[in-house]
């Protein structure tokens, strides 16, 4: 007999009781060192502690029935409508829960993509441990010389019996150094071009033939890594989808990634509160130009949030290409936050002294968010072609070679 669906109000009360029994209410502590970076960049000892806390919290929520509110019961979910998942996320924002950035790809991006593309055996093997974070995953898409153009992937995988042997290099991978598995895009058909001949795999990261090297960024942190694959192996049963059909798997994954970024807890509006406090501290709390800038950020942030909620309410089959608009509007509004902070602080924004330097970290880390999940330029192309139905961008003709002259 199926369990009756609780009312949204009863579910929300249940969630409040559960989270409140484990976590403290969120408060603003002015004594803490501020950090406004939109990318996690923390000392290794802090990262290790926060990662352990995040994994423990995900396991607690999963075991209590809140780990996959709108997920299928066969894989540990509760089979509730998406509105219930939104309600639970709203409850968590009221409390100081562990940072979900460490598990965002595994939980919010990879799992729904596997639901669409993994065969039943692979789904049964991977979905529950990924959602409960018994396994943590990373994304192995981008490559040197290709960047956001994933169709230019040159990492190769060749079949050797029941295993694929992988050689190549990936770059800009978040969380590679603590992940157990990676969603890998590799070229499995020699001589294939662009998005043909690509296949997706779930490859074990802790094996001979895989080396992870941190990339030092201009912010001073190293939240991304480059990954070298030299004879690494992945069993054929860890293949996601059919051979040569990896492009559809990757596009689904990117669709969910853009949805996650576009609904990232209203980070622009959270930072707006800190920006308003900065304006008051600078004696510009009543300045008309400053108030105009703050009001513009507020209106844009709330409008984008309402638009995104409407997109999600209509997305019965999962988020569509219109979520690219949500990501664009978020990065644009965060850029306005950073610019307003610069207008208030001027050259003091680049002085290594808190709290001013925290705004400098926002400005620098924002460029990573503009790239992650697809660059702003790619997002605009998707909106133009797939949302507005405008003609596709012409592909430039290849330059003539010397032989053809």
Q: What single-letter DSSP state applies at residue 133? A: T
Q: Which of 41, 47, 143, 257 is catalytic?
A: 257
Strands 137-140 and 156-160: unpaired
257 is catalytic: yes
Q: What b/e readout covers 38-65, taking b as 16+ CB neighbours within 10 angstroms?
A: bbbbbeeeebeebbeebbebbebbbeee
Q: What b/e readout covers 172-189, taking b as 16+ CB neighbours within 10 angstroms?
A: bbbbbbebbbbbbbbbbe
CA distance 156 to 142: 14
16: burial class by Cβ within 10 Å (0-12, 13-18, 19+)?
middle
Task: Write out the two tokens for 139.
Answer: 């994304």
Task: Write out the two tokens for 165.
Answer: 């042997």
- Residue reference for tokens 């992945």: 234
CA distance 143 to 212: 14
CA distance 241 to 352: 49
CA distance 308 to 325: 9
Q: Which residues are catalytic?
A: 257
């Amino acid at each position: 007999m199926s369990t009756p669906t609780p009312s949204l109000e009863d579910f929300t009360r249940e969630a409040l009781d559960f989270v409140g029994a484990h976590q403290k209410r969120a408060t603003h502590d002015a004594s803490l060192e501020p950090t406004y970076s939109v990318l996690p960049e923390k000392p290794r000892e802090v990262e290790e502690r926060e990662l352990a806390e995040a994994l423990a919290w995900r396991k607690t929520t999963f075991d209590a029935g809140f780990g996959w509110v709108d997920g299928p019961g066969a894989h540990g979910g509760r089979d509730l409508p998406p509105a219930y998942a939104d309600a639970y996320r709203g409850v968590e924002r009221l409390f100081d829960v562990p940072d979900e950035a460490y598990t965002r790809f595994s939980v919010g991006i990879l799992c729904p993509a596997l639901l669409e593309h993994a065969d039943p055996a692979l789904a049964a093997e991977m979905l529950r441990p990924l959602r409960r974070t018994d396994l943590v995953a990373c994304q192995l898409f981008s490559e040197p010389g290709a960047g956001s153009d994933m169709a230019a992937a040159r990492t190769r995988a060749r079949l050797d019996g029941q295993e694929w042997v992988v050689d190549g290099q990936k770059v800009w991978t978040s969380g590679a150094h603590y992940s157990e598995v990676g969603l890998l895009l590799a070229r499995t058909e020699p001589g294939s071009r662009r998005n043909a001949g690509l296949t997706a795999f779930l490859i074990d990261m802790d094996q001979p033939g895989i080396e992870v090297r941190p990339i030092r960024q201009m912010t001073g942190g190293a939240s991304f890594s480059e990954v070298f694959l030299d004879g690494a192996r992945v069993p054929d049963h860890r293949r996601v989808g059919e051979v040569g059909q990896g492009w559809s798997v990757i596009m689904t994954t990117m669709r969910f990634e853009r949805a996650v970024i576009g609904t990232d807890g209203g980070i622009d509006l959270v930072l707006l509160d800190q920006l308003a406090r900065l304006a008051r501290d600078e004696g510009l709390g009543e300045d008309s130009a400053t108030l105009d800038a703050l009001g513009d950020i507020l209106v844009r942030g709330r409008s984008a949030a309402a638009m995104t909620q409407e997109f999600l309410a209509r997305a019965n089959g999962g988020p569509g290409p219109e979520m690219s608009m949500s990501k664009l509007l978020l990065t644009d509004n965060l850029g306005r936050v950073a610019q307003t902070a610069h207008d208030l602080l001027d050259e003091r924004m680049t002085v290594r002294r808190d709290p001013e330097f925290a705004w400098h970290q926002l400005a620098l880390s924002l460029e990573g968010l503009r790239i992650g999940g697809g660059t702003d330029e790619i997002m605009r192309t998707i909106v133009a072609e797939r949302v507005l139905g405008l003609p596709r961008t012409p592909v430039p003709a290849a330059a003539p070679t010397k032989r053809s002259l």
